[in-house]
């Protein structure tokens, strides 16, 4: 590859966004385009690779994104942003593998992947408890709702035609494991992202509802819990926040971030490139269709969310565009800006932070560190070290992080990373055998 081609690749950004046909994923794509055009020089361009579950959804999404771009920018600016569609079903590991291969074979690099797609897995709402809770405890009930109902033990369809394969939880695979396999497979592309933003980034989109109180390490896939969504998001938090710790390095850095699929070696060598970095985000509480509701109930939900914001909730962003604030901040900011944001926590002996989309009563958006059970604010033991964290409204019952809780969280991270890598290797072997069997039959 010539010097001019290499320079052009380095000046362009390539960002993958999963689950982009509606809601938060669609808004992330829109906001990526808006903020890129307003913050990056005219010499740079942006390619957004977005995924949906079908070709029909992909075409419709691309058309709506291009329409939005034309309406929100000048024609010359719009030419700097390109949308590319891909199909994937994250509950189908073969589909994930096919997407990974297409990306590795066709893209020169990936600067960031925003792992947004997911499902709630709920079957309904306990309406009597929901109505009573919202009427008597509005802010807490519409931030950490305890009244959602979900079936227990739902599995994906069989992944191969083999007679036996291990169980694979549906919500776990859609929210965590499908993304986990995808991120591992495209690691070579992420390693090529050296400029202009720094090392490639794996950006997990979690939830304000994630809590380790609903996660059990001996039920990694959440097959025995009535809260599989919350369990999967807690696992997401644990993996992302402990990914750079020495105790998880044998699995997180030395194994997971070394992809199996080879990309074009002529593009740019990656042997000396820094490993990709993991970041954790959440959109606050915004109105999406993750729980289908009748139109009158949608309006009631929005009124309740607005009421919680007026009562002082920092997390009710309401719109998905505001909810996209934190993921886009992590995807587009220069490495120096991200390092500066996390510097106070590292200086106080902490680590990674969970960055959430926050909103004031008047709808002024910001990116804010989020308190997590067992990890506190940025893993700092004791009182929060950042003034904004000390002033922000906390979840009822929250207490300052202790040294013992921090150590327990790190140990939990080590166990989760070990189990996830063992599961990934097991499934890669199963898929390899299935592919060989299919080839021999042809």
Q: Which of 109, 148, 233, 275 is catalytic?
A: 233
Classify each residue of 153-184 as buried b or exposed e, where b means 16 or more C-beta atoms within 10 Å of its C-beta. Answer: eeebeebbeeeeeeebbbbbbbbbbbbbbbbb
In 3-state terms the chain splits into helix, strand, coil percentages (rounded to 5) of 50, 15, 40
- Catalytic residue selected from 27, 100, 206, 358: 206
Q: Which of 229, 279, 321, 345 is catalytic?
A: 229
Residue 94 to residue 362: CA distance in whole angstroms: 46
User: Is residue 233 among the annotated active site residues?
Assistant: yes
Q: Is 25 exposed, middle or buried (0-12, 13-18, 19+ CB in 10 A)?
A: buried
The burial of 439, by beta-carbon neighbours within 10 Å (0-12 exposed, 13-18 middle, 19 or more buried), is given as exposed
* Known catalytic residue at 229: yes
339 Cβ neighbours under 8 A, 6+ residues apart: none
Peptide bond into 196 cis (omega under 30): yes
Please give the span between the terminal C-alpha atoms of the chain, in angstroms, as a whole number: 37
Q: β-strand 277-282 against 354-359: which pairing, if any? A: parallel
Q: Which residue has the tokens 């001996």?
A: 218
| N residues, the chain | 442
Residues that are catalytic? 206, 229, 233
């Amino acid at each position: 590859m010539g010097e001019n081609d290499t320079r052009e690749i380095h000046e362009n950004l390539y960002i993958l966004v999963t689950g982009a046909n509606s809601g938060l994923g669609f808004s992330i794509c829109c906001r990526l385009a808006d903020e890129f055009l307003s913050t990056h020089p005219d010499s740079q361009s942006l390619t957004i690779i977005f995924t949906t579950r079908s070709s029909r959804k992909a075409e419709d999404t691309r058309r709506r994104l291009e329409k939005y771009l034309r309406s929100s920018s000048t024609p010359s600016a719009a030419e700097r942003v390109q949308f590319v569609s891909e199909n994937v079903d994250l509950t189908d590991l073969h589909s994930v593998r096919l997407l990974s291969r297409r990306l590795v074979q066709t893209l020169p690099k990936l600067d960031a992947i925003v792992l947004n797609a997911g499902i709630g897995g709920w079957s309904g709402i306990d309406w009597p408890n929901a109505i009573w809770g919202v009427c008597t405890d509005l802010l807490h009930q519409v931030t950490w709702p305890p009244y959602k109902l979900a079936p227990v033990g739902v599995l994906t369809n069989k992944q191969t035609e083999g007679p036996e394969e291990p169980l694979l939880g549906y919500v776990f695979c859609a929210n965590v494991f499908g993304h986990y396999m995808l991120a591992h497979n495209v690691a070579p592309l992420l390693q090529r992202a050296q400029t202009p933003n720094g090392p490639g980034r794996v950006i997990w989109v979690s939830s304000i509802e994630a809590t380790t109180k609903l996660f059990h390490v001996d039920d990694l896939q959440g097959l025995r819990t009535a809260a599989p969504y919350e369990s999967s998001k807690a696992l997401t938090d644990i993996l992302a926040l402990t990914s750079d710790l020495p105790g998880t390095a044998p699995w997180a850095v030395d194994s997971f971030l070394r992809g199996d699929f080879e990309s074009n070696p002529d593009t740019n060598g990656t042997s000396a490139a820094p490993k990709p970095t993991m970041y954790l985000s959440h959109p606050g509480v915004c109105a999406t269709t993750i729980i289908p509701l009748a139109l009158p109930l949608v309006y009631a939900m929005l009124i309740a969310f607005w009421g919680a914001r007026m009562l002082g909730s920092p997390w009710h962003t309401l719109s998905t565009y505001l909810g996209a604030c934190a993921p886009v901040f992590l995807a587009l900011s220069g490495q120096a800006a991200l390092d500066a944001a996390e510097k106070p926590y590292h200086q106080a002996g902490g680590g990674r932070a969970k960055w959430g989309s926050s909103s004031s009563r008047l709808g002024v958006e910001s990116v804010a560190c989020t308190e997590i059970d067992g990890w506190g604010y940025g893993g700092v033991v004791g009182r929060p070290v950042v003034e904004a964290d000390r002033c922000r409204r906390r979840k009822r019952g929250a207490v300052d992080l202790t040294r013992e809780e921090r150590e327990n969280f790190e140990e939990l991270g080590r166990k989760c990373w070990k189990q996830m890598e063992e599961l990934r290797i097991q499934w890669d072997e199963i898929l390899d055998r299935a592919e060989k069997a299919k080839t021999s039959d042809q």
